[in-house]
């Protein structure tokens, strides 16, 4: 995996949250079916702030964030679900936790991740189990897939005139 500079990390994270917000806007118009990731209502925290919170309190790097987004894409495809305001936070949390556990040598317990994500430990356990099942337990991300996502995000940053120094 390619390591990026901190200002690029922030730019990529903002691109990701902007893309997620766009997807939510489109899916809201279609009234998708509820999924196992749906909360009763959308949390009171914006997607960008939620992602910043996850990054800040889990200590994950941009590589882990990109892998989490790849997992979310796979989950949505495999489970046939659309990203909505009611599920984006739980999808992010599940994706982050699975990616962190796959990539990092030192991880926190699920109680920590649950607190950071604003859910109970039991809810996080269920989300993680559901995510792994929806991923068909295929957590490996080929270098080419990772590079394609990274290039996509960098391309958007360039189009929007955001700094990048990869």
| Closest C-alpha among 38, 44, 139, 138 to residue 83 | 38
Q: How far apart are CA 42 and CA 44, in angstroms?
A: 7
Quick: pLDDT tens for 94-121: 999 999 999 988 899 999 999 999 999 9
More confident residue, 43 or 123: 123
pLDDT at 165 over 50: no
Q: Which residues contact 39 (CB under 8 A, 6 or more apart)?
A: 86, 87, 89, 90
- pLDDT, residue 40, reads 79
- pLDDT, residue 28, reads 58
HSE, side-chain direction, 13 A CA sphere, residue 157: 22
Q: How far apart are CA 88 and CA 77, in angstroms?
A: 14
% of the chain with per-residue pLDDT over 90: 46
Give the DSSP letter string of 16-43. HHHHHHHHHHHHHTT-PPP-TT--SS--
Quick: pLDDT tens for 7-24: 446 667 777 777 777 676
More confident residue, 5 or 21: 21
Which tokens in the block code for residue 58?
């889990």
Which tokens in the block code for residue 66?
């990109």
| Closest C-alpha among 73, 64, 60 to residue 20 | 73
Q: At what angle do helices 47-58 and 6-28 cross, to 10 degrees?
A: 140
- pLDDT, residue 109, reads 94
pLDDT at 30 over 90: no
């Amino acid at each position: 995996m390619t390591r990026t500079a901190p200002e690029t990390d922030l730019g990529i994270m903002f691109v990701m949250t902007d893309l997620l917000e766009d997807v939510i806007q489109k899916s809201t118009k279609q009234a998708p079916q509820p999924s196992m990731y749906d909360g009763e209502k959308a949390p009171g925290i914006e997607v960008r702030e939620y992602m910043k919170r996850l990054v800040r309190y889990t200590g994950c790097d941009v590589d882990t964030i990109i892998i989490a987004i790849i997992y979310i894409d796979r989950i949505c495809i495999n489970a046939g679900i659309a990203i909505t305001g009611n599920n984006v936070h739980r999808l992010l949390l599940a994706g982050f936790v699975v990616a962190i556990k796959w990539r990092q040598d030192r991880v926190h317990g699920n109680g920590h991740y649950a607190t950071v994500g604003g859910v109970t430990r039991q809810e996080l356990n269920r989300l993680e189990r559901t995510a792994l099942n929806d991923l068909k337990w295929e957590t490996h991300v080929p270098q080419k897939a990772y590079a394609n996502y990274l290039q996509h995000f960098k391309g958007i940053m360039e189009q929007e005139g955001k700094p990048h120094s990869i």
